[in-house]
Amino acid sequence: MSKTWIALAVVVVAVVGGGIAYASIPDESGVIHGCRNKTSGVLRVIDSDQMCTPAESSLDWVQSAGFEVYRSFGFSPPVEITAVAPDAPQHVMTLTLPPGSYQISTYVDVQKDSGDGVLACLTFTAPSFASSVARAAMGTAPGDSRWVTMSGAGLAELPNGGPVDLKCRQLAGATGSNPRVIEADINAVRIGTINQHEDGS
């Protein structure tokens, strides 16, 4: 066999091998495989040949056709969080979605210049239902920080479409300056169906 054919064979093997190792999400049947943490509710997407950990429940859904991903693309200027529990949480931003089922994730970057307190941010997909909740201690105590990043994720069905609202408030007892949301974002991935497993996940 000539050197040219040997080199070509090596290239073909490398390409085929790379194709075999390439991850496919969704899989060839259009199913997206995920794992939901039983404690925190955090959802992660996995390849079809991967397994969830004992601390997670498996969760699969079918990718729908057409438009899939919706984003709020952040906001400015910063939002000062003056609301303190038990007051209603303060509006930070909204993403309006068409009818469908969604995996919704949010994140916020928050700064507090003085004092101590706990900030809670909730993602509402209905007036009295939050698909995710995130909390962070801000201040000078061990483990606290003046700048925190929080994120949350959850599933929601919006048969008539509607707004997804990101709202935040301080817990009672906060001192010093109010926290300011410097950056925030809402992401929604439209999915075909949500299947509930026997364990309730």
User: Phi first, then psi: what are they for 60, rounded to 5°?
Assistant: -115, 145
Residue-range domains of the chain with CATH: 3-63 (no CATH), 69-194 (2.60.120.40)
- Reading the block at residue 133, the tokens are 């909740």
pLDDT digits (tens, 9 = 90+) for 87-103: 889 999 999 999 988 99
pTM, 2 dp: 0.63
- Reading the block at residue 60, the tokens are 């699969």
C-alpha 29/C-alpha 36 separation (Å) is 21
pLDDT digits (tens, 9 = 90+) for 147-177: 999 999 998 989 899 999 999 999 999 999 9
Q: Residue 5: pLDDT above 70? A: no
pLDDT digits (tens, 9 = 90+) for 25-63: 777 666 788 888 888 878 888 887 888 998 888 877 665
C-alpha 156/C-alpha 190 separation (Å) is 10
